Amino acid sequence: MLNIDTVMVFVFSIYISCIGVMIYVRKHFKLKYSGYSSFFVYFVFSLVSAIFCYLRMQDDLTIWRMLSLLMLVVSKFFLMTGFLSFLNERFSKRFYSVVVVILSFTVHMFVILELDVVYYNILILIHNLLIHVYILYRVTRKWHQIEYGKQLVLILNSLFIFKVLIMIGLSLHNYVAEDFVFQYSVVRITFTSIMSLLLFVTILNLFMDIMYKGTKATNNRLKLAQLISGTGSWEIDLETNKVYASDVAFQIYELENIDGTIALEDIQSMVDKKDRDKLDRALHNLIHYNEPYDVIFKLHTNGKEKFIHSRASVEYLYGKPSTIVGVFVDVTNIKKKEDQLTYISYHDALTGLYNRRYYEEKITEYTDKDKLPLSIIVIDINGLKLMNDAFGHHSGDKLLVLAAKAIEESLDESSFSARIGGDEFIIILPNCNFKTAEKKANEILLNTKKYEVNDIQLSFALGVGTRNSLDERYSNVFKTAEDDMYRMKMLEVPSMRSSTIDTILSTLYENDRYSEEHSRAVSKISVEIARKMNMSFKQINDIRMAGILHDIGKIITSRHILRKDGVLTNQELEEMKRHPETGYRILKASAELEHLADIVLNHHEWWNGEGYPNGRKEEEIPILARVIAVADVFDAMTSQRTYRETVSYKVALEEITKCSGTQFDPKVVEVFKEYFNDIVDSN
């Protein structure tokens, strides 16, 4: 039979082994013990210890005492682990040393002094007392920093101390072994059961508290996520038709949140009338057929117009739909941007008319029989390029805008127009026969008379085509209208261009009071030089017109530069030097005058290549341009100007002679010098 020494040595060995194993496992695997898991293990070991204690009461065998003490010691270890884990305390080597020394001292005192079981129990109780006191000592300084649930655990620890003190008193009062063992066991079982129950309730409360905090934290995160994303949530109880909504939902609806619910009728009254049927149909299909609920609808709130994107799913109870849960978001800004992008993608940015992309997509919808007869009017603006070259693209843009206005004034809701090219437009007229389309075309031509840019009247060339049956190809109808438009353009454009050139010259002469006199003088002098050089009749006619038009490019030069009295700045001079290129583009736009474009372009080029705009030299420069260069400089030097003194004919001739071979063609200068008196007298 085992004696008490063997039992205590065994218990001590198990206790030390448990501590060693726990330290090794924790350090090796870098584990952190949870306070809850430690308390749970303590709870189990305490109950097992109480059971062994009860068995010892029935049959006082050493094995029951040994097992009871073993369970008690192990449970105490986990109890300490749990307490200190709640306090985020780490087990230091000093603490382990204190525990081991106390237990070692207890066992050795029992063995050396051969004390009976009463004093042994007193020493064990003192050992337990020291453990709990040590825990309380560590936490008293942190009491106000500890959460409510942890405070309950610490209060429970105080009850453990109270239990130990009672048992020490009981041990001192009852020296008789039999009475002591019985009373000690009863108290121990009673307190252990009560403490275990309290510990279980405490842990359960802590668990519920954590669950509550976790749920609350999740709800807070959900609300924050909804607030950040602007997403509202809603839920419809199909029995009561009550709508439960989130805070963000109330913000979107712009309603006051009183009890978290909204009447379904109130929401339906806010929905735009055009979208109510769509919403009701989507909700019906979701409830009865479980079809996806994904709709965008218009909402009216406090005079504001919003677009809402809503999605939802249905929940079932006992096989029947019970609740609809959904989310929605205010997509007003996105919708506006989408509409803006759609508008941009289908409209011409300058005129506001539909563009070619819209026309090509829309025309496919006009293939049905109910659209017949289908008429089209193809329109082209006359003189747009000439307007751009003469007055700049801003003037050309004005002409395009006025053209769109003239077209739109003649259309009704059933038809539409589009800009399909730079200066080309088209009008689609469904259910319109050829005669009606012709009347519409004439009405548009009359509208053009009301608009002009820089004194140049808006002018159209147009053609009409009609599709009377589905057997006719639309492409053939378009070609017919386009051919008619080109035929009209051939008749209209020459006179229009001539009128435009006259208008450009008139505008130039208004801006520069010297230009008209100077141009006519240059033309006359150039013609006389050409005659003396025995040029052909055609060349003489060309140089006569080129002399008149040589400065036409100055139409884009600023008025203040043309009228400036003083010397031009470098920047002003650079602007002035652009007029030959502008004149070239203007004349190139006219079929009747384009052969003069090169003469105008090169009349400021020098014989030695130091002129502008392209630095051409010698024979690279057209002969007529070389003649106009001499006439231009001579008239400029001898004409009266406010910004410089006029020189005599003789001085002007000397200056031109000096520049022979550098600025001017030597042959032209020689002829000019030889026939100088005749040329001057003729002018």
Enter the tokens of residue 585: 């583009």
- Structure tokens that stand for 296 in this block: 């965008």
Band of pLDDT at residue 109, cut at 50, 70 and 90: very low
Tell me if the bond preceding 613 is cis, omega within 30° of 0.
yes
Q: For residue 83, give every residue at least 6 positions away whose Cβ sits within 8 Å of its Cβ, in sequence order, or none.
A: 35, 135, 153, 154, 157
pLDDT at 646: 83
Task: Pick 548 or 263 by higher pLDDT.
Answer: 548
Task: Give the residue-averaged pLDDT of 95-112.
Answer: 47
The model's confidence at residue 488, banded by pLDDT at 50, 70 and 90, is confident
CATH of the domain at 332: 3.30.450.20
Q: Which among 163, 180, 210 is the end of a domain?
A: 210
pLDDT tier at 480 (50, 70, 90 boundaries)? very high
- In this structure, the answer to whether residues 607 and 524 fall within a common structural domain is yes
Residue 432 resides in a domain = yes
Distance CA(438)–CA(377), nearest Å, equals 9
Q: Which residue has the tokens 């985020």?
A: 88
What distance in Å separates the CA atoms of residue 100 and residue 562, rounded to the nearest whole number? 110
Residue 587 lies in a domain: yes
The residue among 200 and 630 whose pLDDT is bigger is 630
The answer on 541 and 494 residing in a single domain is: no
Question: Cα 359–365–367 angle (5° rounding)?
Answer: 115
Closest CA to 64 of 54, 73, 74, 77: 54
Residue 15 clears pLDDT 50, i.e. is over it = no
**Tokens read off for 266:** 């109130």
Close Cβ partners of 394 (under 8 Å, ≥ 6 residues apart): none
Last residue of a domain, one of 500, 525, 547: 500
d(CA 458, CA 478): 24
pLDDT band at 442 (very low <50, low <70, confident <90, very high): very high
More confident site: 658 or 268? 658
- List the strands of the sheet with 460-467, edge to edge: 416-419, 424-429, 374-381, 460-467
**Residue at token pair 């290129």:** 581
Q: Is the same domain home to 311 and 362?
A: no
pLDDT band at 10 (very low <50, low <70, confident <90, very high): very low
Long-range contacts of 645-649 (CB under 8 A, 24+ apart): 649/676, 649/680
**Cα distance between residue 81 and residue 36, in whole Å:** 10
Q: What is d(CA 67, CA 428) in angstroms, rounded to the nearest whole number?
A: 103
344 in any annotated domain: no
Two tokens, residue 633: 């400089």
pLDDT the model gives residue 462: 93
Inter-residue contact 392 to 556 (CB < 8 Å): yes
pLDDT at position 364 over 70 = yes
In a domain, 505, yes or no: no
How many domains are there within the chain?
4
Same-domain pairing of 591 and 649: yes
- Asked if 121 contacts 184 with a C-beta cutoff of 8 angstroms, the reply is yes
Do residues 330 and 306 lie in contact, with contact meaning Cβ atoms separated by under 8 Å? yes
Band of residue 207 on the pLDDT scale cut at 50, 70, 90: low
200 and 313 part of one domain: no
* Dist. CA 655–CA 669, nearest whole Å: 11
**Mean local confidence (pLDDT), 591-619:** 92
Lowest mean pLDDT among 51-60, 215-224, 270-279, 670-679: 51-60
Write the CB contacts of 109 (distance below 8 Å, at least 6 apart in sequence). 115, 123
pLDDT of 178: 45
Same domain, residue pair 120 and 176: yes
CATH code where residue 550 lies = 1.10.3210.10
CATH code for the domain in which residue 477 is found: 3.30.70.270
Report d(CA 132, CA 43) in Å as an integer: 16
pTM over 0.85: no
Confidence of residue 613 (pLDDT cuts 50, 70, 90): very high
| Surface-to-core class of residue 88, CB atoms within 10 Å of its CB (0-12 exposed, 13-18 middle, 19+ buried) | exposed
**176 phi/psi in degrees, rounded to 5:** -70, 130
Confidence at residue 409, expressed as pLDDT on a 0 to 100 scale: 92
CA pair distance 531, 540, nearest whole angstrom:
7
364 vs 357, 371, 474, CA distance in Å? 12, 11, 10
Residue 54 has pLDDT above 80, yes or no: no
Tens-place pLDDT, residues 273-329? 889 999 889 989 999 998 999 999 999 988 889 999 999 999 988 888 999 999 999
pLDDT of 257 above 90:
no
Is position 564 within any domain?
Answer: yes
Q: If DSSP codes are grouped into helix, strand and coil, which group holds residue 416?
A: strand
Residue recorded with tokens 């919003």: 306
Note whether 70 and 179 are same-domain residues.
yes
Q: What is the mean pLDDT of residues 24-47?
A: 53
φ, ψ dihedrals at 465, nearest 5°: -140, 150
The neighbour count for residue 227, using CB atoms within 10 Å, is 14
pLDDT digits (tens, 9 = 90+) for 164-191: 555 555 555 544 444 444 555 555 555 5
Q: What is the pLDDT of residue 8?
A: 45
Say whether pLDDT at 9 is over 50.
Answer: no
Tens of pLDDT along 589-602?
A: 777 788 999 999 99
Which residue shows structure tokens 């749920």? 215
Judge whether 396 and 384 are in contact, CB under 8 Å: yes
pLDDT at 385 (0 to 100): 84
pLDDT at 2 over 80: no
Mean pLDDT for 345-374 is 93
Statement to judge: residues 495 and 591 lie in one domain:
no
Mean pLDDT of 247-256: 87
More confident call, 560 vs 191: 560
Q: Where are the alpha helices (DSSP H) in 290-383?
A: 332-346, 356-362
Alpha-carbon span 583 to 610, nearest angstrom:
20
Tell me, yes or no, whether 67 and 182 share the same domain.
yes
Confirm whether 257 is domain-assigned.
yes
To the nearest whole percent, how much of the chain has pLDDT over 70?
67
Other beta carbons less than 10 A from residue 319's beta carbon? 6
Same-domain pairing of 408 and 555: no
Domain boundary pick from 210, 239, 272: 210
Range of the domain at 623: 512-682
Say yes or no: 279 and 364 in one domain: no
The pLDDT score that the predictor gives to residue 74 is: 63
Q: How far apart are CA 646 and CA 652, in angstroms?
A: 10
Q: What is the dihedral of CA 434, 435, 440, 443, to 10 degrees?
A: 150
Number of other residues whose CB lies within 10 A of the CB of residue 365: 10
pLDDT of residue 515: 84
621 Rama class: left (phi>0) / alpha (psi -120 to 50) / beta: beta
pLDDT band at residue 12 under the 50/70/90 scheme: very low
Q: What is the mean pLDDT of residues 661-667?
A: 95
**pLDDT reading at 676 higher than 50:** yes
Same domain? For 678 and 575 the reply is yes
Judged by DSSP in three states, 392 sits in coil
**For the segment 131-145, what is each residue's pLDDT rounded down to a tens digit?**
556 555 555 555 455
Q: How far, in Å, CA of 357 to CA of 348, rounded?
A: 10
The answer, yes or no, to whether residue 680 has pLDDT greater than 80, is: yes
Is residue 41 assigned to a domain? yes
Asked if the structure places residue 561 within a domain, the reply is: yes
Both tokens of 450, joined, read: 């009301």
Exposed (0-12), middle (13-18) or buried (19+): which is 683, by Cβ within 10 Å? middle
